[in-house]
């Protein structure tokens, strides 16, 4: 079974979240972030930005909605209605 970069990061104690500014952020235990895990954080951040931008520009969504749905895709979070999108 393949795991996503976000799942791999979670398995190593790295928490990804979207800050109020709309930027993807992370928290990790001291010393947990290896260079490989840092690369995964960057990969997920780039995927997040790309997915949000596609929804915003091609899908005509406002930025906040686009970011919420991109986070749901990548981080497995629920939207306000409780449905995984």
pLDDT of residue 83: 39
Structural domain spans, the chain: 5-75
Q: What is the per-residue pLDDT across 3-56, written as a single tens digit (0 to 9) for each?
A: 788 889 999 999 998 888 888 899 999 998 999 999 999 999 999 999 999 999
List 17's β-bridge partners, or say none.
25
- Structure pTM? 0.77
Calpha distance 19→27 (Å, rounded): 12
* Cβ atoms of residues 70 and 51 within 8 Å: yes
């Amino acid at each position: 079974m393949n795991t996503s970069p976000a799942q791999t990061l979670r398995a190593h104690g790295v928490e990804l979240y979207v800050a109020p500014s709309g930027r993807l952020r992370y928290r990790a235990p001291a010393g947990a972030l290896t260079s490989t895990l840092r690369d995964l954080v960057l990969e997920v951040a780039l995927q997040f930005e790309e997915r949000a931008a596609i929804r915003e520009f091609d899908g005509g969504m406002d930025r906040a909605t686009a970011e919420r749905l991109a986070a749901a895709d990548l981080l497995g979070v629920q939207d306000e209605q409780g449905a995984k999108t």
